[in-house]
Amino acid sequence: MKLLFELDVSNNRFLGEFPQVVLSLPQLKFLDLRFTEFEGPVPTRLFDKPLDAIFTNDNRFQFGIPENLGNSPVSVLVLANNNLGGCIPGSIGKMDKTLNEVILMNDNLTGCLPPEIGMLKKLTVFDVSSNNLQGPLPSVISRMRSLEQLDVEHNRFNGEVPATVCRLPQLLNFTYSFNYFTKEAPECIKFGGGTVSDGRIGEE
């Protein structure tokens, strides 16, 4: 299948490990494995392939996001609702020329957001909600001038919700409830992210 451009086997009940044949399809640009029942690791070689879109969300994959993530030229990366664990590697900053959307919600991610995300000037959607990320929101998010959708709710972020983030020129939706923020800038209230208290924002 040397001319195969798009592989979509989503919304099925396929079982077993990641289909290794994907790695040998020379013209493949669009990979959609979402809402199936694949499990185990995703080969690191996947992120060395010249793909434009990767959807592996809503499976039972278990793997840490590899450092060579930054080699991928994808515009859309959706790995949500798996058991990835670990941190988002700093190499994500190397995807600044192509990456438009990244969705990593509910992936059991830990650690802090790497400052290299500030290099993603073309990114419009950044969703890392429902993980175990911690630390302050990096001020470098304010450099992501194309950002339209930002979702960091249900994590362990702390400190202040920065005004510079809420002033992003294209930002339409910013959700930051259920974290440990202790202060939010007045500019952020319009997004309705939650009420700051001594506990978790938005927690009843």
Query: What is the per-residue pLDDT across 180-191, written as a single tens digit (0 to 9) for each?
Result: 999 888 999 888
Q: Specify if 157 maps to a domain.
A: yes
Q: Give the tens place of pLDDT for each residue, 85-101.
A: 999 999 999 999 999 99
Rounded-to-integer distance, Cα 163 and Cα 184, Å: 8
Q: Which of 115, 106, 122, 32 is nearest to 73 (CA)?
A: 122
pLDDT at 201 over 60: no
Give the confidence band of 155 by pLDDT, cuts at 50, 70, 90.
very high
Q: Give the tens place of pLDDT for each residue, 107-120.
A: 999 999 999 999 99
Percentage of the chain with pLDDT > 90?
Answer: 89
pLDDT at 199 over 70: no
Helix (H) or strand (E) holding 163: helix 163-166
The total of structural domains in the chain comes to 1
Q: Specify if 95 maps to a domain.
A: yes
Q: Specify if 44 maps to a domain.
A: yes
The mean predicted confidence, pLDDT, of the chain is 93
Q: Specify if 201 maps to a domain.
A: no
Residue-range definition of the domain harbouring residue 117: 6-191
Q: Specify if 1 maps to a domain.
A: no
CATH for 106: 3.80.10.10
